[in-house]
Amino acid sequence: MPDRTGNGPASAGRRAARGAALLVGTAVLLGSAPAAADPADGAAEIAEALQESPVLVDPAYASALPEEKADALAERIEESGEPLFVIAVPVVSGDRWEGDVGNLVDAVHDRSGLSEAHYIAFGGQMVNGEDYPRESAYEEGGINASLAALAPSYENDFQGASGAEIERAVEIALSGDAERIYEEAMEGYEERNGGLFDSPAVPLPMLTWPRLLAWAAGAAALIAGAVLLIRARRRAARTRHAVRAAPLTAFDNADAARLDELSARVGKEIVAVGERLSRAEPGGRGGAEATAALQDALNAHTAAGKAHDAARDGEADLADEVGALVLLDVAEYRMARAAALAAGRKPPREPRHCYANPLHGTSTTEVEWRAVGSRRSVTAPLCAECARAVRRRATPKALVIRHGDADVPYFSVPAEQSVWSATGFGALRSDLVDRVLRGDLHAPERGTRG
């Protein structure tokens, strides 16, 4: 039976090519990819790579943060269970991120599907920290990547090596006491360098070029640190009710193109499955049971058409097209069951799609999944890749959809607003077809397309 959600040989090939895709993503960041490259690819590839390991170091910085140190950092973060990530990739003036590593991190986070995440990032200048949502940085005992990234610079009088500062920033972030450590580091810096900008107490002839350059470097470092601090404070001061800005237009265009492609694919599959159903013979040796199974297949096919129509009418988004694919898989299974019963054979096992992302296919196992930073858990079918992520206390690659003004994992949408969230695309409940046929796709409470 074909699996439309991506679990066949083509999917295996894509998984095998993932390492090469990361190199393409890095090339996009550096502006060296072909002109036709999707502007969102770089951020998307980095977000995907961070699902494999919470530490991503571009080869350009391999000497600053060697592989063994990067692996040690990744292990420490994974053991903590905290949603902390490290990104070290070149960001230069004039690139698509306008030379601002914060813009890169914003884009990566938009693609991550996470509601809460903290990043230590280095683009070639100073170590930077970002927290999402912004106000989470100042929750008692939580991670404050913004201040954790600043503290090492003050501890080392802005003279530390970038790799060492990244390691120290991670240590501070995981300590849960970043604000105190930052305040102490800043006080120590001021005590050591308090008279730096006073009128010099030495005779003018002693003001050699090396001394002047040293003062200039100190002034530049202090100003840079002040700018980063102001930026971090302003971000953290945003109200808890502030809404994250919508993704860049380029991201919207890329999403629209992918949705159009998926929609066209779903339309063809609906026709193909419908033709096979029309040729199916009810009854046989299976009698009433085989006939009922064939009717169940027809119902699933009808439900798939309803989901596809909802997406085409603009009343929904990616979730409906993915749901249509899942329902087509259900129709195929039930048609195969009817054929097996009619021939007197043992029916095939009912497929269960990956709960984290149904596009990962139906080759799944039951896994207890406890979300990072939470004590709540759910037992659900997961593909091998997502199951590995869960066992490593990492976050699986969830299906991210547009809900309101944000990109979120589909299962974070309230159940009363989404039949897909309520049923896990059928992974959690067996009544998905019935719900779609009775009109749950068009419930008044449902969230609107962003």
Annotate 387-423 with three-state secondary structure: HHHHHCCCCCCCCEEEECCEEEEHHHCCHHHCHHHHH
Q: Which residues contact 188 (CB under 8 A, 6 or more apart)?
A: 154, 155
pLDDT at 113: 83
CA–CA distance, 163 with 419 (Å, rounded to integer) = 47
pLDDT at 187: 83
Query: Does pLDDT of 328 surpass 90?
Result: yes
Residue 280 has φ and ψ, to the nearest 5°, of -70, 140
Query: Does pLDDT of 206 surpass 80?
Result: no
pLDDT at 271: 92
Residue 86 has φ and ψ, to the nearest 5°, of -120, 130
Distance, CA of 63 to chain centre: 28
SS3 category, 290: helix
pLDDT at 220: 53
Query: Which amino acid, 338?
Result: A
Residue 142 has φ and ψ, to the nearest 5°, of -90, -175
What number is the average pLDDT over the span 354-372?
85
Residue pointed to by tokens 């206390």: 393
Strand partners, 403: 406
Q: Which residue has the higher pLDDT, 285 or 319?
A: 319
- 27-31, 39-43, 367-371, 390-394: which range is least confident on average? 27-31
What number is the average pLDDT over the span 230-238?
40
Element at 382 (helix H, strand E): strand 377-383
Other CB atoms closer than 10 Å to residue 52's CB: what's the count? 18
Element at 11 (helix H, strand E): helix 9-16
Residue 262: which of 206, 279, 254 has the closest Cα? 254
Query: Does pLDDT of 202 surpass 60?
Result: no
CA–CA distance, 262 with 323 (Å, rounded to integer) = 11
Could you report the per-residue pLDDT of 367-384, keeping only the tens digit for each? Answer: 888 765 556 678 899 988
SS3 category, 114: coil
CB 46 within 8 A of CB 56: yes
CA–CA distance, 404 with 412 (Å, rounded to integer) = 12
Q: Which residue has the higher pLDDT, 270 or 140?
A: 270
CA–CA distance, 408 with 115 (Å, rounded to integer) = 7
- pLDDT-derived band at 433 (thresholds 50, 70, 90) equals very high
- pLDDT-derived band at 12 (thresholds 50, 70, 90) equals very low
Q: Which residue has the higher pLDDT, 10 or 290?
A: 290
The mean pLDDT value of the chain amounts to 75
Burial class (CB in 10 A: 0-12, 13-18, 19+), 64: middle
pLDDT at 212: 46
Could you report the per-residue pLDDT of 115-162, keeping only the tens digit for each? Answer: 889 999 998 878 888 888 877 776 777 788 888 998 898 888 878 888
- pLDDT-derived band at 194 (thresholds 50, 70, 90) equals low
Q: How far is CA 24 from CA 43, 113, 298, in A?
A: 11, 21, 43
Query: Does pLDDT of 9 surpass 80?
Result: no
CB 351 within 8 A of CB 337: no
Residue pointed to by tokens 């002040």: 226
CA–CA distance, 286 with 292 (Å, rounded to integer) = 10
What number is the average pLDDT over the span 220-225?
52
Provide DSSP, 232-263. HHHHHTS-TTPPPPPPPHHHHHHHHHHHHHHH
